[in-house]
């Protein structure tokens, strides 16, 4: 959470004093309805459904697309495990694909992994980095496959003038504590497709058939779930939404300064950015020639008081740590387990996406801030340059002693 204060407190007080905490049965036209309309306008879509989490948004999006048992959904090897978990939640099987140097889904590898069972693709805009949506949409359109954008880490981001979450057939957002805007835990699904919207609406609310909008639903009612958000969280989100553009402007401004000041450093390049104007600015990726050089930089940076880290070591965001998926335990009961609901056989391994492991191991992240002073930022930049010089020495040693290159588990080969 970047900014929160009195306005959010006042919004919560307003809801509590109203006595109407539920969005339905008296809450129609309240905070949630207003937030959905405001989010639709911000993203540039026809429909928004506010839900309880980004995971819920992904699940509802897949349900809206009609994804189910026997289907496959392609996901990147670099994302929170919620992305493949959502696929399993609707009874489909996640197929793990490579990322490219921008750390987004590699469209070329996606195309290699399409089968007759592929129903959807989920590109993930990790750390607010827009995925290469032109390439992904070209592959999807060529094969007649749905695209669900996972923009859970990219609230407000865009790609070539279009907001993330409006480019694919649907988009999923998260508003948990660690996102660009937050209500503690929440999410939203966006789409222009009426069928996806109404299926998702039914799926997100098991009582949809009894709501005031029931007569508008154009799909047959089915047994849904409960991913309904409440009025308190929506009230917080409305205030957070009013802060969004300001937050993004500050993050992007600091990232621009970092890139300008570090552009001539020879130790690293910047991870390619598919749309610099639409990038959320939360993170700057430094791409080294090898994992050894990246680690040497990180060690020296830590000594200088600079916080940085490799996405390779992020734990929950890398596919080789997704134990339930790697071991194909898709649900609590075998009759609900996607892996056991199909005749297809699947193989996962910790080394199944070697380029993903390489790119992540060679990358170090610097985080941006909305309230850091210019002096503190320039001090940070000076320390980064010192740390980069140390990593250059390591690279020189590797060149002079090539027999030691690539040794150990932290090598660029993963």
| Digit-coded pLDDT (tens) for 204-249 | 999 999 999 999 999 999 999 999 999 999 999 999 999 999 999 9
- With left for phi above 0 and alpha for psi between -120 and 50, is residue 343 left, alpha or beta? alpha
Q: Which tokens sit at 279?
A: 């990038």
CA distance 370 to 372: 6
- pLDDT averaged over the chain? 95
Q: Which tokens sit at 323?
A: 């134990």
Per-residue pLDDT averaged across 163-186, rounded? 98
Q: In sequence order, which residues have a C-beta less than 8 Å from that of residue 11 and are 6 or more positions away?
A: 31, 235, 236, 238, 239
**What's the Cα-to-Cα distance from 37 to each of 155, 250, 374, rounded to whole Å?**
16, 25, 37
**Residue 39 in 3-state DSSP?**
helix
Q: Which tokens sit at 72?
A: 């496959």
Per-residue pLDDT averaged across 21-25, rounded? 97
**What's the Cα-to-Cα distance from 378 to each of 260, 285, 414, rounded to whole Å?**
12, 18, 33
- The band of 397, judged by pLDDT with boundaries at 50, 70 and 90, is low
Share of the chain above pLDDT 70, in %: 94
- The band of 1, judged by pLDDT with boundaries at 50, 70 and 90, is confident
Q: Where are the domains of the chain?
A: 6-241
Q: Give the pLDDT score at 412.
A: 31
Yes or no: say if 340 and 92 are a contact pair by the CB < 8 Å rule: no
Q: Does residue 330 carry a pLDDT above 60?
A: yes
Q: Give the pLDDT score at 399.
A: 56
Per-residue pLDDT averaged across 129-147, rounded? 98
**Residue 361 in 3-state DSSP?**
helix
Q: Give the pLDDT score at 396.
A: 56
Contacts of the segment 16-20: beta carbons below 8 A, 24+ positions apart: 16/232, 18/231, 20/231
- The band of 377, judged by pLDDT with boundaries at 50, 70 and 90, is very high
Q: Does residue 188 carry a pLDDT above 70?
A: yes
**What's the Cα-to-Cα distance from 190 to each of 58, 109, 323, 339, rounded to whole Å?**
10, 26, 30, 29
Q: Give the pLDDT score at 14.
A: 97
Q: Does residue 121 carry a pLDDT above 90?
A: yes
CA distance 23 to 212: 11
CA atoms within 13 A on the CB side of 318: 22
Share of the chain above pLDDT 90, in %: 93
Unique residue bearing structure tokens 């990322």: 99
- The band of 400, judged by pLDDT with boundaries at 50, 70 and 90, is low
Q: Give the pLDDT score at 407.
A: 34
Q: Give the pLDDT score at 393.
A: 64
Yes or no: say if 255 and 366 are a contact pair by the CB < 8 Å rule: no
Q: Where are the alpha helices (DSSP H) in 90-132?
A: 107-112
- Pairing between β-strand 268-270 and β-strand 283-288 as defined by DSSP bridges: antiparallel
| Digit-coded pLDDT (tens) for 286-327 | 999 999 999 999 999 999 999 999 999 999 999 999 999 999
Nearest 5°: phi and psi at 270?
-95, 140
Run of H or E residues at 60: helix 54-64
Q: Which residue did the predictor score with more confidence, 163 or 390?
A: 163
pTM: 0.94
Q: Give the pLDDT score at 135.
A: 98
CA distance 221 to 217: 8
CA distance 119 to 342: 14
CA atoms within 13 A on the CB side of 367: 14
| Domain 6-241, classified CATH 3.40.640.10, yes or no | yes
Closest CA to 87 of 341, 413, 295, 351: 341
Q: Does residue 280 carry a pLDDT above 70?
A: yes
CA distance 361 to 413: 8
CA distance 383 to 283: 17
Q: Which tokens sit at 291?
A: 């994992």
CA atoms within 13 A on the CB side of 42: 23
- Please return the burial class of 269, using the count of CB atoms within 10 Å of its CB with bins 0-12, 13-18 and 19+: middle
CA distance 414 to 411: 6
| Digit-coded pLDDT (tens) for 64-97 | 999 999 999 999 999 999 999 999 999 999 999 9
- The band of 394, judged by pLDDT with boundaries at 50, 70 and 90, is low
Q: Does residue 410 carry a pLDDT above 70?
A: no
């Amino acid at each position: 959470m970047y900014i929160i204060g009195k306005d959010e407190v006042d919004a919560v007080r307003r809801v509590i004093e109203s006595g109407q905490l539920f969005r339905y049965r008296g809450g129609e036209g309240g905070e949630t309805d207003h937030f959905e309309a405001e989010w639709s306008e911000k993203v540039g879509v026809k429909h928004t459904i506010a839900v309880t989490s980004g995971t819920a948004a992904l699940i509802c999006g897949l349900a809206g697309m009609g994804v189910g048992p026997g289907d496959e959904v392609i996901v990147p090897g670099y994302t929170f495990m919620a992305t493949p978990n959502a696929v399993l939640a609707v009874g489909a099987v996640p197929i793990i694909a490579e990322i490219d140097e921008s750390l987004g889904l590699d469209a070329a590898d996606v195309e290699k992994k399409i089968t007759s069972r592929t129903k959807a693709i989920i590109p993930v805009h990790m750390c607010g980095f827009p995925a290469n949506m032109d390439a992904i949409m070209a592959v999807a359109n060529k094969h007649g496959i749905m695209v669900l954008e996972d923009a859970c880490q990219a609230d407000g981001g865009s790609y070539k003038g279009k907001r993330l979450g409006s480019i694919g057939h649907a988009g999923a957002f998260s508003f948990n504590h660690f996102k660009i805007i937050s209500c503690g835990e929440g999410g939203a699904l966006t789409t222009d497709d009426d069928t996806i919207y109404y299926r998702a609406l039914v799926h997100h609310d098991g009582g949809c058939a009894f709501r005031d909008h029931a007569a508008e639903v154009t799909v047959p009612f089915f047994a849904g779930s409960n991913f309904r958000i409440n009025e308190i969280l929506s009230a917080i989100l409305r205030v957070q939404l009013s802060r969004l553009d300001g937050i993004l402007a500050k993050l992007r401004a600091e990232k621009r300064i970092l890139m300008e000041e570090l552009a001539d450093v020879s130790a690293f390049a910047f991870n390619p950015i598919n749309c610099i104007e639409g990038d959320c600015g939360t993170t700057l990726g430094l791409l080294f020639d090898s994992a050894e050089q990246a680690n040497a930089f990180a060690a020296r940076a830590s000594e200088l008081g600079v916080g940085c880290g490799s996405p390779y070591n992020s734990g929950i965001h890398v596919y080789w740590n997704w134990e339930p998926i790697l071991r194909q335990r898709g649900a609590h009961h075998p009759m609900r387990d996607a892996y056991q609901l199909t005749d297809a056989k699947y193989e996962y391994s910790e080394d199944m996406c070697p380029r993903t492991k390489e790119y992540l191991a060679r990358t170090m992240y610097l985080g941006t801030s909305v309230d850091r002073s210019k002096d503190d930022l320039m001090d940070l930049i000076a320390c980064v340059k010192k740390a980069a010089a140390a990593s250059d020495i390591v690279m020189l040693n590797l060149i002079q002693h090539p027999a030691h290159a690539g040794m150990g588990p932290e090598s660029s080969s993963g």
